[in-house]
């Protein structure tokens, strides 16, 4: 495999770095258009209530108010998973969570819009509130959140591979435990914003939005507004973080568009921080039962997983996340027999959805903690147990997940060696501990969310004397740096410098096609499409260069901005000169590439082959990593201080190593927040009591431990440029690694998040009392 790269593998500063440090990057809320009006959404004070009446007349009579809308004006349901679409732009007839939008206004300025909200009169008929998924299932006969879900369950799935019951009978070591994860939000820094501009004469709508998924937003707008997609253009300005929270449309998008269409002038809706929390779409709290069986040598023989997910009020990404949790038990260890019983339950809470590493984080927490405990049962190191069971390249799980390439064992080895884990584990003084966990994540994704066979990504590369190289795509750079790595991959494929490549992205009209930034798919998918597009360009330029150099086209290579013959290196010519000749003779040169993930592994209706779980998780490749955390538990206060994190990751070929490090560092601190600090809290009526960054505690720089990361040498020969993911895999090992470290420190295995000082003190007290007998 060709690995002699010059542009891929370069640590380069991001292309948008200078604009961002100067404050010149333009985010949606920074934009102003002529006659801009300001929209605001009125939100429900009840978590579950019938709407008896909404009267906007007083608001409309207020000077400066331009329009008001209610849910009745746009009752078409939307949702990222079309089979389960059940959200509306604004509530129709009923509210199902605290903070649900019931009406919206547009006014000449924000102050007027805000004042107008107070004049909208809404009469509610409160209903009993369901805040716990088990209670929601038990009381479904009496209290139903959605008419079409008589059990208060969005969806449930059972998957059986092999015969786990029989396998457990022969196991020497069996452990069964329950785990409970918390209700957390992405807390990206830029609140959702949408700016819509509808032009009545042409019937054309343009929406600028802080979204991760311009295409899916485009589709949803088309459905809800009943406008053809070709009359709508979605543009993504700079986005202040997403982490999954901007991975579906928001009511800001719909309300801005509906209000703009109503008044024929641009309208912007920007959320307050409290609205970000109220509309949530964060990680699902999971109530999990996991049973693992090992044979006498320690090889995993069976896994039985049961998961009840608290989904909140609407479906969102819920069904996908649910099947991911089922799918995620099959890797990164060899599991010959497995069962998953999963259900996603409606409650009257702000809805849960997709959040960095979706569906993986919860089962990973349970599995890695239990394997730690089972190693202790066997009297061996958790490292030994995990190495023994770790998957290898070419592995195919019983659920048909195919791992073309993995360096997982190298990740485990590297982190263990660099941290001195084996010398420290079980040997540190009481209060100090070290913990290990592994993880993996999908890369490249498998299916569109709606039934479709179209390519997931299209890239068009334009080459001419005017623009040099311009890559047209529709990837959404939400801060992860996709515009930079796309430029690097295109430069590599074309043999030019990355600094000379322009990337046009994040626009459904100027760009080509892309499903969006989620499921760690962009680098892989864009890379594949870029390779195909670049080949067409190179083939044409090789012919021209061959003529200019008097050699054969198939002898030529292009690198570092020059064409040269690999037989006669003296025969060489600058890339620009060849482009100049081609452009003069023929005009602008274009190449177009598409990426469709391989489908053969999945459902094949022609042969009536259906794979359980609808192939969720069946991505073309997977990233792997290991983390080792060292903690210091303050026995007086219960406070956990993290001293050091040692990470080693297999992200395939790193396109921009500096950017990979940034993804890993960020993942570590992001998941540490969920492990130790973060939790949204509701009162008994379902009202959120901490919808602010004051009361919802995310890690600050003061919590930053020493972090040592290693990009393990890796190259997936089946992947474009050998790449995998690095943005979601590294969140997977964090929570169990911390939890295992805390066990090593104080001998308590925590099975509920977050692990707060209160819980630590309580556990220490119980431990003391038990010791007294």
Partner 1 sequence: MKQLIKLDINNQVYEVPVSPKDLLVDIIRKKVGLTGTKKGCGQGDCGACTVLIDGAPVLSCITLAIACQGKKISTIEGLADEQGNLHPVQQAFVDYGAVQCGFCTPGMILSAKALLDRIPRPGELEIKRAISGNICRCTGYKKIVEAIGAAAAKISTGGVE
Q: Applying CB under 8 A, which residues contact partner 1?
A: 11, 13-14, 16-27, 29-30, 186-191, 238-241, 243, 272-273, 478-481, 658-659, 661-662, 665-670, 692-694, 698-702, 704, 707
Phi-psi region of 753 (alpha: psi -120 to 50; beta: other; left: phi over 0): beta
Phi-psi region of 592 (alpha: psi -120 to 50; beta: other; left: phi over 0): beta
Q: Minimum CB separation from partner 1 for residue 627, in Å?
A: 13
Pick 316 or 666: Cβ nearer partner 1? 666
Pick 190 or 630: Cβ nearer partner 1? 190
CB 28 within 8 A of CB 208: yes
Structure tokens at 727: 């943005």
Q: Minimum CB separation from partner 1 for residue 442, in Å?
A: 21
- Separation between Cα atoms, residue 326 and residue 316, nearest integer Å: 18
**Residue 647 three-state SS:** strand
CB 617 within 8 A of CB 401: yes
CA-closest candidate to residue 65, choices 100, 109, 23: 109
- Separation between Cα atoms, residue 597 and residue 616, nearest integer Å: 13
Pick 113 or 460: Cβ nearer partner 1? 113
Q: Minimum CB separation from partner 1 for residue 436, in Å?
A: 20
| Chain-centre distance for alpha carbon 156 | 22
Angle between helix 522-549 and helix 575-585 axes, rounded to 10 deg: 80
Q: Minimum CB separation from partner 1 for residue 527, in Å?
A: 20
Cα–Cα separations (whole angstroms), residue 700 to 27, 672, 764: 24, 11, 27
Pick 444 or 479: Cβ nearer partner 1? 479
Pick 393 or 706: Cβ nearer partner 1? 706
Q: Minimum CB separation from partner 1 for residue 690, in Å?
A: 11
**Residue 735 three-state SS:** helix
Q: Minimum CB separation from partner 1 for residue 9, in Å?
A: 15
CA-closest candidate to residue 154, choices 355, 317, 268, 23: 317
Structure tokens at 426: 């079980």
- Separation between Cα atoms, residue 253 and residue 434, nearest integer Å: 46
- Separation between Cα atoms, residue 167 and residue 295, nearest integer Å: 9
Q: Minimum CB separation from partner 1 for residue 708, in Å?
A: 10
Pick 478 or 626: Cβ nearer partner 1? 478
Q: Minimum CB separation from partner 1 for residue 15, in Å?
A: 10
Pick 9 or 617: Cβ nearer partner 1? 9
Beta bridge partners of 710: 648
* φ, ψ of residue 749 in degrees (nearest 5): -100, 110
CB 338 within 8 A of CB 304: yes
Q: Minimum CB separation from partner 1 for residue 21, in Å?
A: 4
**Residue 5 three-state SS:** coil
Pick 16 or 121: Cβ nearer partner 1? 16
Pick 617 or 730: Cβ nearer partner 1? 730
Q: Minimum CB separation from partner 1 for residue 691, in Å?
A: 10
Q: How deeply is 26 buried, as exposed, middle or buried, from its count of CB atoms within 10 A (0-12, 13-18, 19+)? A: exposed
* φ, ψ of residue 323 in degrees (nearest 5): -70, -30
Q: Minimum CB separation from partner 1 for residue 435, in Å?
A: 19
Side-chain-facing half-sphere of 117: CA atoms under 13 Å: 16
Pick 172 or 700: Cβ nearer partner 1? 700
- Separation between Cα atoms, residue 459 and residue 472, nearest integer Å: 6
Pick 107 or 549: Cβ nearer partner 1? 107
Q: Minimum CB separation from partner 1 for residue 165, in Å?
A: 43
Pick 243 or 595: Cβ nearer partner 1? 243
As a residue count, the chain comes to 773
DSSP-assigned letters across all residues of 490-519: HHHHHTS-GGGEEEE-SBTTTS-EE--S-T
End-to-end CA distance of the chain: 64
Q: Minimum CB separation from partner 1 for residue 355, in Å?
A: 12
Pick 597 or 699: Cβ nearer partner 1? 699
CB 743 within 8 A of CB 372: yes
CB 444 within 8 A of CB 474: no
Rg from Cα positions in the chain = 27
Helix (H) or strand (E) holding 55: strand 49-55
Pick 271 or 447: Cβ nearer partner 1? 271
Q: Minimum CB separation from partner 1 for residue 149, in Å?
A: 33
């Amino acid at each position: 495999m060709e690995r002699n790269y010059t542009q891929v593998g370069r640590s380069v500063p991001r292309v948008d770095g200078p604009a961002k440090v100067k404050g010149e990057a333009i985010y949606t809320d920074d934009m102003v258009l002529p006659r801009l009006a300001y929209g605001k959404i009125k939100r429900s004070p009840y978590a579950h209530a019938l709407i008896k009446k909404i009267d906007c007349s007083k608001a409309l009579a207020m000077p400066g108010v331009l329009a008001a809308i209610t849910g009745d004006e746009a009752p078409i349901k939307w949702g990222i998973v079309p089979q389960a679409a059940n959200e509306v732009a604004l509530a129709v007839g009923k509210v199902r969570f605290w903070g649900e939008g019931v009406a919206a206004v547009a006014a000449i300025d924000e102050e007027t819009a805000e004042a107008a909200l107070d004049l909208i009169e809404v009469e509610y008929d409160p209903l009993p509130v369901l805040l716990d998924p088990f209670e929601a299932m038990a009381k479904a006969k009496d209290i139903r959140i959605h008419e079409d879900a008589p059990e208060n369950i969005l969806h449930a799935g059972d998957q059986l591979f092999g015969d786990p019951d029989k396998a457990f009978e022969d196991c020497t070591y069996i452990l069964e435990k329950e785990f409970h994860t918390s209700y957390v939000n992405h807390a990206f820094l830029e609140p959702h914003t949408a700016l819509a501009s509808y032009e009545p004469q042409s019937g054309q709508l343009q929406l600028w939005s802080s979204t991760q998924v311009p295409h899916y937003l485009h589709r949803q707008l088309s459905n809800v507004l009943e406008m053809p997609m070709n009359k709508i253009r979605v543009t993504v300005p700079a986005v202040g973080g997403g982490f999954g929270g901007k991975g579906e449309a928001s009511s800001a998008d719909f309300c801005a568009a509906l209000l703009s269409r109503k008044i024929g002038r641009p309208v912007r809706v920007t959320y307050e921080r409290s609205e970000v929390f109220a509309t949530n779409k964060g990680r699902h709290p999971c109530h999990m039962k996991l049973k693992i069986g090992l044979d006498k040598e320690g090889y995993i023989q069976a896994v039985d997983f049961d998961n009840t997910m608290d989904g909140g009020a609407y479906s969102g990404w819920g069904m996908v996340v649910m099947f991911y949790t089922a799918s995620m038990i099959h890797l990164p260890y060899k599991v010959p027999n497995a069962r998953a019983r999963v259900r996603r339950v409606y409650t009257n809470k702000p809805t849960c959805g997709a959040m960095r590493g979706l569906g993986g984080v919860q089962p990973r927490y349970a599995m890695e903690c239990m394997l730690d405990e089972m190693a202790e049962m066997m009297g061996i190191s958790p490292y030994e147990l995990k190495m023994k069971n770790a998957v290898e390249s070419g592995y195919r799980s019983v659920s048909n997940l195919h791992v073309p390439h993995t360096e997982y064992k190298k990740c485990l080895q590297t982190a263990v060696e660099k941290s001195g884990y084996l010398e420290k584990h079980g040997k540190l003084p009481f209060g100090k501990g070290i913990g290990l966990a592994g993880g993996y994540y999908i890369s490249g994704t498998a299916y569109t969310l709606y039934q479709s066979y179209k390519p997931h990504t299209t890239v068009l590369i334009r080459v001419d004397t005017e623009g040099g190289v311009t890559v047209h795509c529709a990837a959404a750079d939400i801060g992860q740096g996709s515009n930079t790595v796309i430029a690097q991959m295109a430069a590599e494929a074309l043999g030019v410098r990355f600094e000379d490549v322009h990337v046009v992205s994040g626009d459904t009209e100027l760009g080509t096609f892309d499903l969006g930034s989620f499921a760690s798919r962009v680098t892989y998918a864009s890379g594949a499409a870029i390779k195909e597009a670049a080949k067409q360009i190179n083939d044409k330029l090789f012919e021209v260069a061959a003529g200019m150099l008097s050699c054969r086209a198939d002898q030529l290579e292009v690198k570092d901005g020059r064409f040269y013959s690999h037989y006669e290196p003296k025969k060489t010519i600058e890339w620009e000169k060849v482009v100049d000749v081609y452009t003069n003779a023929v005009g602008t040169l274009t190449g177009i590439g598409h990426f469709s993930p391989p489908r053969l592994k999945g459902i094949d209706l022609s042969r009536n082959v259906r794979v359980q779980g609808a192939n969720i998780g069946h991505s073309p490749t997977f990233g792997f990593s290991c983390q080792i955390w060292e903690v210091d538990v303050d026995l007086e206060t219960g406070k956990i201080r993290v001293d050091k994190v040692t990470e080693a990751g297999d992200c395939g070929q790193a396109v921009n190593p500096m950017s990979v490090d940034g993804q890993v560092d960020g993942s570590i601190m992001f998941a540490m927040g969920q492990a130790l600090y973060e939790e949204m809290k509701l009162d008994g009526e379902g009202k959120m009591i901490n919808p602010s960054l004051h009361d919802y505690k995310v890690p600050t720089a003061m919590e930053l431990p020493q972090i040592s990361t290693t990009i393990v040498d890796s190259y997936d020969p089946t992947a474009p440029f050998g790449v995998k993911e690095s943005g979601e895999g590294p969140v997977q090992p964090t929570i169990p690694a911390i939890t295992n470290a805390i066990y090593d420190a104080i001998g308590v295995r925590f099975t509920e998040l977050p692990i707060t000082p209160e819980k630590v003190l309580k556990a220490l007290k119980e431990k003391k009392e038990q010791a007294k007998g």
